[in-house]
Amino acid sequence: MRAVIQRVSRAAVRVDGELIGSIGEGLLVFLGVGEGDTDRDLKYTADKTVGLRIFSDEEGKMNLSVKDIGGEVLVISQFTLYGDCRKGKRPSFTSSMEPAAAEKMYEEFIEYVKNEGISVCHGSFGADMKVELLNDGPVTILLDSSKIL
């Protein structure tokens, strides 16, 4: 499972011009599910996301999590995180999980974060989405559950 996590002041997602989710201060999570991902990958990625200490404390140090600050999370499905560009110029997405199983894991990720007491909004799986964000910092973190030591 791969995630691109951005610390944001605000973020929103629209489908067909309609606002379907928006957050204030928190995390924008672009989430990709890879072929062979399991509950272990899901738990690792969700735990890391919720626990990332990338918000400033009273001394200006990145020492607080989204949970610590009472922030929100916007989760967007992003199979293109598994794009392989090593051959040619057109990315191959064969490492992405097939859509039905990927959607199930995407929804489980959202529920996991919600169960941590965090307000969560999300995009529409498989839809053509327009995502707006105001990156704070900028702070952008990459997670890849296949890189667990």
Minimal CA–CA distance to 24: which of 58, 70, 56, 59?
A: 70
Q: Give me the catalytic one of 45, 55, 78, 125.
A: 78
In contact, 1 and 41? CB cutoff 8 Å: yes
Q: Give me the catalytic one of 38, 80, 93, 140.
A: 80
Residue 44's alpha-carbon distances to 1, 3, 37, 80, 95, in angstroms, are 9, 11, 11, 20, 19
In 10 A of CB 108, how many CB atoms?
15
- Per this entry, what is the length of the chain? 149
Question: Facing residues of 144 across strands?
Answer: 2
Our answer to whether residue 78 is catalytic in this structure is: yes
Our answer to whether residue 125 is catalytic in this structure is: no
Is 70 in a helix, a strand, or coil? coil
Q: Give me the catalytic one of 30, 79, 109, 125.
A: 79
Our answer to whether residue 6 is catalytic in this structure is: no
Query: Which residues are the active-site residues?
Result: 78-80
